[in-house]
Structures are given as C-alpha cells and as structure tokens.
Structure 1
Amino acid sequence: MKIFLWRALRGCLPTRLNLHRRHVPCTMLCATCNVAKDIWIATRFWPKISQVIADNDGIQQAIFQLLQCLSLSEAIDLLCLMWGIWCMRNFKLWNNKVTPPHIVFFLARQRIIEWIAT
C-alpha cells in the first residue's frame, strides 16, 4: 500500500494516461468503467471527493488537498480505497474478472485493520 501511495504521489503509476504520455500504445478506455465511482458512492466518500477531483488537474494535487480536509480515520479509509480500486483495476485488466464494489471496500478495510494490528 505504501508503494502504491508513493507512486500515486510521484505520478509514477502506470495509468493509461501516464502510459499514453510516454508513447506506450494502449487504449484510453477505462478498464473498470464506472465501477470505481460506484465504490466511492457506496462508501459515502463521493460527496467529499467529487468537487476536489473536479477542481484539481492531477491525482497528486487532489490527494494532498483531500488529506488536508479529512480526519485521520477518513484519510486512512481514502488511501485504502484508492489502493483497493487500483488492485481491482489490475485484477480486471490482467485477469478479466470484475470485483463487486462492496467486496473492494471490504477487502480495503480488512487490509487496514490488519495493518493497524501489526
């Protein structure tokens, strides 16, 4: 999860946009369509993040702005959900299997509970 966050904040995630900028041939279509947004809506984060996302040019700026206005527990949930969505995206992209939004949220929460327990 730390590596994911580091890559996201440094603009190093191999997203389609980043690959396209580096002239790597790939489709610009989303691997998960609206599933990621459905996860944010299901977890009640969408009202908190939708305007921040719309107001910022990149993911790095949006993450930093969100971390400044969220409580510690909300920030942890946000980062876990981002990581969960990224894992879901990779699973869909490489295995062609879709993970339901409620499962993504559950797995992200389990991961943070395990992390806090260690």
Structure 2
Amino acid sequence: MFKIYQLNFPPNVLNFLWRASTNSLPTRINLSTKHVPIAATCPFCFAAPETILHVLVQCSFARSCWSKVPITGVVPDAMLFSSWLEAGLVSWNSAEVLEAGMVCWSIWNRRNELVWNFKHPDAKYFFYTIECDDCALVDRNSKNSSLVRTTLYRTQMIGFKCA
C-alpha cells in the first residue's frame, strides 16, 4: 500500500486512500465493532453492512457512479478494499488510477453528505473535477498522453465537485 503515496493526488485524497486501504475510515461496520450504537447497514442502499469496499465499490449507488467512468478491469470479487485497490494499481494506467481515486473520494464525500447533512445524492448527477495543478493525470511523455485532461467529467446538470 505504500504505492499510494507515490501517486499524484492532492494530500487529502492520498490520506483518504490510505485510510480506506487500512480499514481506518469510520464506516458503520467499523463504528459498530467499536461498540458505537449505530446500525451497521449502508446509508445508501440499506441492503448490506457498510464496509469500505461496499460503500465505495459494491453498493448500488457506488455501482451507478462507477458505470459512468471508463475504467477497465475493476475487480468486482475483491473481499477487501485494499485488495481491490491493489488489483487496480496493477491493471490500470496512470489516468485510470487517478480517476478511480477521485471516484472513491467523491463517493465518500457523497456518503458523508448523506450521513451528516441528510443530502440524498443522485448518481445521474455524479461527476467530479480536479482543479489543482498538483493533480496532473499523466506525464505528457507517457504512452497515455491522450488521456491527459484536467477536468475528467462534467454533466450539464448541477452536480458535485471534489477538488
């Protein structure tokens, strides 16, 4: 998982990915194992326990968000988020790694908006942008230079931004 800190993400996204990979995010299942009196079910779908892998990859809301992203080889049968991310780091190109990290970050932010502010997100309005210069997607000299872009996805609807 030390590969995470070699990625070209903003510090807050790097910290988020590290915490997700080490099962350190305050998901409902993690809170309930620490005897916090809370229902362990996912706040998006109420169909499964809210693990990190579930909320970021397997939940119906997360799957709707991932369906809008052209990333190849997302491993659906992983048991832990860390193994899912490691498989992605091996199979994705640099642009796909950045896109996947930003999608995870955006989904987590939408989850927090739902949990703390009762704002119900809609996956059809889901998009994200990267607005800082520190987030260069791919070195222009790489074979993936055609994927270099500063704004990854936009919709014409009012959506979310996670820069």
TM-score, normalization: structure 2? 0.60
Q: Which has the higher contact order (CA 8 A, sep 6+)?
A: 1
Choose the corresponding residue for 1:27, options 4, 14, 39: 39
Change (3 A) 1:53 1:19: farther
Unpaired stretches in structure 1, ≥5 consecutive residues: none
Q: Which structure has more helix as a fraction of its residues?
A: 1
> Within 5 Å, which residues of 2 pair with 1:53-64?
53-54=76-77, 56-64=78-86
Aligned mates of 1:53, 1:20 — CA distance in 2? 25
**Conservation of the 8 A alpha-carbon contact between 2:29 and 2:41:** no
Residue 16 of structure 2: aligned partner: 4
Moved over 3 A (4+): none
**Structure with max Cα Rg:** 2
RMSD: 1.9
Q: Percent identity?
A: 28
TM-score, normalization: structure 1? 0.80
Deviation digits for residues 36-69 of structure 1, max 9, x if unmatched? Answer: 2110112244x632xx231x22111111111110
Aligned mates of 2:26, 2:87 — CA distance in 1? 22
Aligned mates of 1:73, 1:102 — CA distance in 2? 22
Q: Aligned residue pairs: how many? A: 109
The yes-or-no answer on 1:116 pairing with 2:135 is: yes
**Conservation of the 8 A alpha-carbon contact between 1:31 and 1:89:** yes
